[in-house]
Homo-oligomer: A and B are copies of this chain.
Amino acid sequence: MERRKFLSLLSLVLITFIVFIFIFDNLPSSTNFHSVNKAAVELELAQPPPRKLTRHVHVSDMASHPLDPLTVQEVNRVRSIVTTHALFKTAKKYALHSVVLEEPQKPSVLRWKEGDPLLPRKASVIARVDGGTHVMSVDLGSGRVEMVDVGEVSGYPTMTIEDMNTATFTPLESKEFNRTVVDRGVDLEDLACLPISTGWYGKKEEKRRLIKVQCYSMEDTTNFYMRPIEGLTVIVDMDTNQVVEISDNGKDIPIPKAANTEYRFAAQKNNIHHKIKPINPISIEQPKGPSFTVENGHMIKWANWEFHLKPDPRAGVIISRAMFRDPDTEELRNVMYKGMASELFVPYMDPSDAWYFKTYMDAGEYGFGLTAMPLDPLNDCPRNAYYMDGVFAAGDGRPYVRSNMVCVFESYTGDIGWRHSESPITGMEIREARPKVTLVVRMAASVANYDYIVDWEFQTDGVVKIKVGLSGILMVKATPYTNTNQVPNHDDLYGTLLSENVIGVIHDHFITFYLDMDVDGSDNSFVKVNLKRQQTSPGESPRTSYLKATRSTAKTEKDAQIKLKLYDPSEFHVINPNKKTRVGNPVGYKVVPAGTAASLLDLEDPPQKRGAFTNNQIWVTPYNRSEEWAGGLFVYQSHGEDTLATWSERDREIENKDIVLWYTLGFHHIPCQEDFPIMPTVSSSFSLKPVNFFERNPILGMPPNFEKDLPVCQAASSAS
């Protein structure tokens, strides 16, 4: 009883505290999680000393490129403009859910050159004011606020960090909840709760901004994710901060043990192996330093590539104005105007009460950038990495800095750029090989349990490889079973028994990328190059069949709704129909899928309607400033009426127009014991590859490695 009061008081104090701590600090360093508990404190002592992390305050940063994100000063300016606006002055309650640069119109950006005066700076603000959602265009110069009409849409904006935090406290206000927790054998001090987006399934999720809170025990482990209080779900109204409903259908399900769940290095003392030789130190070394430059904080220049890079609270990172200097003409050529992770869709495959709604859309619901935490130097990125900070706005509009949110580094794996040896057939003494060096832009979003590592890898041959790695911790389900031999029918588990009482539930991950390709200019076409078997005519050839490539240009959007087929293969080119190579091929880039997975849910299932942007692997739409987020601008609790699928259904013309390519990378994840208690990274990727974009191999002239140029290294301990 006393404890509960204490906790309520503590919650209030902390909530008040949270409102103030977002200034000039990155969020995770604040103790804004409600469990100030003994386990964490004790374990804290065992932590290794924190590694060096350079912190920049960014108060004096100035924008220098039209696409530069809002600076600290600009966020402050937005806040002072907005909060003095009539709408806010009379408001009882408001929160800013998004404060980002309103990018200038594309033609203005394309016309802008380095040295030109900066284009007028505007901010795009999404706010909740007294229960209503407002989109505003804020002119930073004049201070003018323009209300943007986004029409009647069903969803809500991305949650604020404060929304998520508050939601995790709210259940504690309920005596019923507290009693239930104690009845399940969990000390309230050990409680850790997560805010889980509700999705939309009909009336129950309409007209109120709801979140479902589920809780865990963090007794004896920091990896509370492995200790769910199964079946206990609290529905919280995020606007009123009230408990709407508590359901508990897991009373008989034990809470899995803490044993073997800890993953931190400091807690691995017992994992010392005598028969396994440790790996000697290994490092990518660049004695003359990295070869890329970062100009004015955001322009990255490396080898033939130039592009603008910025952190974004929703997309994570945004690559803009990617251009490649043609080695033959030395001309800087446009490749992509803008590329980013647009939306994610992560449906879990368990239809039961505490699980059916877990169909996350991480970018639009949680913010793929808001959850991208500081990268760990030497482990998340190699030595010589450059770290870029994110400047975001808290719910009250104050700026805060997410340190080291993005890293940029050169990678050399030992791979080969190109090679040829003359074979014993000719016996000529030729042995030519070139090392492959790439530039990687990386961020890692920790959307609660899961970690998504997103790499944009730029190659000297013009290829851009987009790789997504999945790591972090599974979302697991508790069960009374401790061995599969107790399960009457294997298939009813909805997943794999990973440890005693722990099921890893089957789920999918889809990440849909927005790729505004501008191949040598904005007007492009989408061409399918289909390979089909041709039968030869009798007497034509000793062969009866061969493959023939047929090119067809997509006229409208529906021509470009692509499901990949192994037995009906195509290449997918974005070409510039107005520019040809010397021998007459249209210049282009192709999207090259690698391993992927398709969504198999019922098209009419509510989550699939909301995630309908995964109905195809490839889509092409005409460029439209308002169509950037594949699940819609407001995906939280949306009904799915404003997705890429609905836009594409309009079947607009896309030939020889400014077009946007969308690609969805998918994973089916049937968990296995190796994923317990933390998952080794699983990756997949796709590439954008020049196809007749260059007259010839663009890395023909690159030099090989010579011994004399490589570094001379010593072990650190033996170095002076």
Whether a CB of chain B sits under 8 angstroms from the CB of A564 is yes
Residue from the set A285, A549, A580 with the largest chain B CB neighbour count within 10 Å: A285
Chain B residues whose CB sits within 8 angstroms of the CB of A374 once the complex forms: 421, 431
Q: When the two chains form their complex, are residues A416 and B280 in contact, meaning their CB atoms are under 8 A apart?
A: no
Chain B residues whose CB sits within 8 angstroms of the CB of A164 once the complex forms: 424-425
Interface window among A109-117, A235-243, A692-700 = A692-700
Chain B nearest Cβ from A593, distance in angstroms: 6
Q: When the two chains form their complex, are residues B471 and A370 in contact, meaning their CB atoms are under 8 A apart?
A: no
5 A-B pairs whose Cβ atoms sit less than 8 Å apart in the complex = A275-B330, A416-B444, A416-B681, A420-B451, A506-B531
Q: When the two chains form their complex, are residues A544 and B33 in contact, meaning their CB atoms are under 8 A apart?
A: no
Q: When the two chains form their complex, are residues A376 and B701 in contact, meaning their CB atoms are under 8 A apart?
A: no
Interface window among A72-80, A137-145, A630-638, A670-678 = A670-678
**1/0 contact string of A706-718 vs chain B (CB within 8 Å):** 1111111111111
Chain A interface helix/strand/loop/mixed: loop
Nearest to A270 among chain B residues (CB) is B701
Q: Tell me which residues from 632 to 685 in chain A have a Cβ below 8 Å from any Cβ of chain B.
A: 668, 670, 672-681, 683-684
Whether a CB of chain B sits under 8 angstroms from the CB of A427 is yes
Nearest to A53 among chain B residues (CB) is B431
**1/0 contact string of A421-441 vs chain B (CB within 8 Å):** 111111111111111110010
Residue in B288, B594, B719 whose CB lies within 8 Å of A715: B288
| Count of A interface residues, CB-CB < 8 Å | 225
Residue in B440, B484, B529, B581 whose CB lies within 8 Å of A670: B529
Chain B residues whose CB sits within 8 angstroms of the CB of A508 once the complex forms: 547
Chain B nearest Cβ from A124, distance in angstroms: 22
Copies in the complex: 2
Q: When the two chains form their complex, are residues A712 and B707 in contact, meaning their CB atoms are under 8 A apart?
A: no
Chain B residues whose CB sits within 8 angstroms of the CB of A435 once the complex forms: 282, 378-379, 382
Whether a CB of chain B sits under 8 angstroms from the CB of A287 is yes
Cα A677 to Cα B420 with chains together (Å): 11
Q: When the two chains form their complex, are residues B275 and A286 in contact, meaning their CB atoms are under 8 A apart?
A: no
Whether a CB of chain B sits under 8 angstroms from the CB of A249 is no
Interface window among A1-9, A150-158, A598-606 = A598-606
Chain B nearest Cβ from A23, distance in angstroms: 15
Q: When the two chains form their complex, are residues B506 and A547 in contact, meaning their CB atoms are under 8 A apart?
A: yes
Chain B residues whose CB sits within 8 angstroms of the CB of A551 once the complex forms: 490
Cα A301 to Cα B542 with chains together (Å): 50
Q: When the two chains form their complex, are residues A697 and B677 in contact, meaning their CB atoms are under 8 A apart?
A: yes
Nearest to A675 among chain B residues (CB) is B697
Chain B nearest Cβ from A217, distance in angstroms: 14
Cα A720 to Cα B322 with chains together (Å): 41
Chain B residues whose CB sits within 8 angstroms of the CB of A676 once the complex forms: 696-697
* Apart from A263-B420, A425-B448, A567-B600: 15 A-B pairs, beta carbons within 8 A: A27-B427, A33-B425, A33-B428, A168-B425, A275-B330, A277-B291, A282-B291, A284-B412, A409-B414, A413-B413, A483-B582, A483-B583, A500-B582, A708-B717, A712-B716
Q: When the two chains form their complex, are residues A566 and B471 in contact, meaning their CB atoms are under 8 A apart?
A: no
Q: When the two chains form their complex, are residues B276 and A497 in contact, meaning their CB atoms are under 8 A apart?
A: no
Known: A425-B194, A471-B416, A491-B550. A584 touches B483 (CB 8 A): yes
Known: A277-B301, A283-B285. A469 touches B415 (CB 8 A): yes
Chain B residues whose CB sits within 8 angstroms of the CB of A171 once the complex forms: none
Whether a CB of chain B sits under 8 angstroms from the CB of A20 is no
Chain B residues whose CB sits within 8 angstroms of the CB of A421 once the complex forms: 28, 373-374, 376, 444, 446, 451
Q: Tell me which residues from 352 to 372 in chain A have a Cβ below 8 Å from any Cβ of chain B.
A: 352-353, 356-357, 366, 370-371
**1/0 contact string of A483-516 vs chain B (CB within 8 Å):** 1110000110010111110000010100000000
Chain B nearest Cβ from A41, distance in angstroms: 11
Q: When the two chains form their complex, are residues B351 and A543 in contact, meaning their CB atoms are under 8 A apart?
A: yes
Cα A304 to Cα B290 with chains together (Å): 33
